[in-house]
Amino acid sequence: MGKNVLVIEDEPNIIEAISFILSRDGWSVATHSNGHDAVGVVQKAMPDLVILDVMLPGKTGYDILRELRSEDATHGLPVLMLTAKGQVKDREMAERAGASRFMTKPFSNAEVLDAVRELVAG
């Protein structure tokens, strides 16, 4: 089972926190911080899991996710969506766009690890 995660997030403190939590657990973590070319980055890296923020410069996480879901190569890729807003409509939008799982910031280290492990285990 692969352990490669791509984190698409533009807040340095969150990138650092997630990278730390996951690398300590044995994951290989790559990061990207803008929406413009995120889809291409995912397609090139083909990680085992993507952690995707909703609010990104250039393109929203929802748009990126819809694009990923429409491509054969990335259609079934597990995607953990992060958002600062926990409103029901955000959760619904994430589900409609095809998020495998949804997490609201701030989150605990344990939450991130559990979600990532579950998503990759299938």
58-104 pLDDT, tens per residue?
Answer: 999 999 999 999 999 999 999 999 988 778 888 899 999 999 999 99
**Range 38-58 average pLDDT:** 97
Whether the per-residue pLDDT at 29 is higher than 80: the answer is yes
Please give the pLDDT value at position 20. Answer: 97
Architecture of the CATH domain 4-11+27-121: 3-Layer(aba) Sandwich (3.40)
Q: How many CB atoms lie within 10 A of CB 34?
A: 13
Question: Integer distance in angstroms from the first to the last C-alpha of the chain?
Answer: 11
pTM equals 0.95
* Structural domain spans, the chain: 4-11+27-121
